[in-house]
Structure 1
Amino acid sequence: MTRPLKAFIFDLDGVITDTAEYHFLAWKALAEDLGITFTREDNEELKGVSRMDSLEKILALGGRTGDFTAEEKEALAEKKNEHYLTLIQNITPADLLPAIKELIMDIKAKGLKLGLASASKNAFTVMESLGMKSEFDIIVDAKSVVNGKPHPEVFLRAAEMLGVEPEACIGVEDAAAGVQAIKAAGMFAVAVGPKASFENADIVYASTAELSLEKIVVVYNA
């Protein structure tokens, strides 16, 4: 039996705001510096994946996996992050995805806890720019965990920080790796995106505009 619902834990990129375009442009700039062709299709493989794992995928694309030391790879990842930080300076509350602010306010009105579990190392900066940082009880970012998604660590850490059991949490994600992480953590999974991409999710919505606390809770309690 499902425990009484106590918390929602959100992914950031693609759920609360769409920084995917900024990540793509930053990775593309780095790839071009390295003489590697990097397309939007290639970028799909990086959704929900950590920065260092994303770099490894890009180096593999260009056949350059063995060309850099661990220290040089760290420097490359940092260079990508500098590109990204420049690009996201213009984010404002207007960049919240459709219906997300309403959903968050509905969750808070019900007295449920709110957590963020993001693969981004810039989650605090982005949430501040969106005007949403103060609405969340806790934020867990890539700096806080050892294992990236699809490992459940980031969601388990969020539940621990919120003081709730994983089974009493609903996770919201837009990446297959993220949904895997939610399910591995023992949580109820809400996915945003094409239904065919999320066989393991408990509910799938085509876009954030369709998200509804009432509908999610009905399925959770079923």
Structure 2
Amino acid sequence: MAPKRLPIRAVLWDIDGTLMDSEPWHQRITVDLCRVYGHDLSEEDCQAMHGVAFRDIYAALHARRPFPIDLHSLTDEINAQYIARVAEVQPREGAFALVEAFAARGLAQACVSNGGRMIVDANMRAMAIPHFRFSIAREDVVNGKPHPEPYLLAASMLGLPPEACAVIEDSPTGARSAKAAGMLTIAWPQHPAVVFDALDHLVEDPASLDWDELCG
């Protein structure tokens, strides 16, 4: 018999593609700048980038054909373009209402991203939601998603065991991270064709889950 799961006491959110409908913006900016520097990205390339830290994307492309610009300079260009437009990025439909509903239940909430600190802070300012205790960016950990470290760090900062945390993610990379951390893993993809190999629930709307039972 599987051990009984602890009642959920916190919800940890991915940001890009989960709270914010920002993936198309990141992709468009990245594709345009990579083209400037000699890389025409295919649709397959773009799908493979989903949920992956940009340093890993850069390394894979650089191995294919060296960039004439270093990682930090290219990252700065991408970040600057995104931050300049972040006020135009819309929240994902229903996401902010879920944040409010979880806050009404007394659940702790935080954001755990694979993005860099500049992007995370820009998104946090744009969302302007008071219910998030903190945010974790790629620079805050040694190992980014799909490693469990980002989510384990969040649980430690909340003073909770991982088993008392639920995670909402839109990407397989993030779901692997959450599942490896021992957390209740909820996949809320924007695209039905996305395939997950590590999760507890695949949903069209996280509100459809029985939160009374999960938090009981």
TM-score of the two chains, using structure 2 as the length reference = 0.87
Match status 1:140 vs 2:175 = no
Match status 1:101 vs 2:101 = no
Secondary structure, aligned partner of 1:5: coil
Residue by residue over 1:45-103, the C-alpha shift from the partner in whole angstroms, topping out at 9 and shown as x without a partner, is 1111112112123334xx314x568xx22222222222222232433xxx221221221
1:187 corresponds in structure 2 to: 183
Q: 1:8–1:114: 8 Å Cα contact kept in structure 2?
A: yes
Secondary structure, aligned partner of 1:38: coil
Instruction: Give the C-alpha shift of residue 123 in structure 1.
Output: 1.3
Structure 1 distance, partners of 2:170, 2:86, is 20
- Counterpart of 1:110 (choices 105, 109, 131) is 105
Q: 2:18–2:188: 8 Å Cα contact kept in structure 1?
A: yes
Q: How high is the sequence identity, in percent, across the aligned residues?
A: 27
Match status 1:177 vs 2:177 = no
Instruction: Give the C-alpha shift of residue 176 in structure 1.
Output: 0.5
Structure 2 distance, partners of 1:196, 1:174, is 9
1:86 corresponds in structure 2 to: 84
Structure 1 distance, partners of 2:57, 2:122, is 21
| RMSD after superposition | 2.2
Alpha-carbon spacing, 1:202–1:142, altered in 2? closer, same or farther (3 Å): same
Q: Which runs of 5+ in 1 are unaligned?
A: none
Alpha-carbon spacing, 1:191–1:160, altered in 2? closer, same or farther (3 Å): same
Amino acid at match of 1:31: C
- Counterpart of 1:10 (choices 10, 13, 21) is 13
Secondary structure, aligned partner of 1:58: helix
Amino acid at match of 1:36: H
Q: Which runs of 5+ in 2 are unaligned?
A: none
TM-score of the two chains, using structure 1 as the length reference = 0.85
Higher helix share: 1
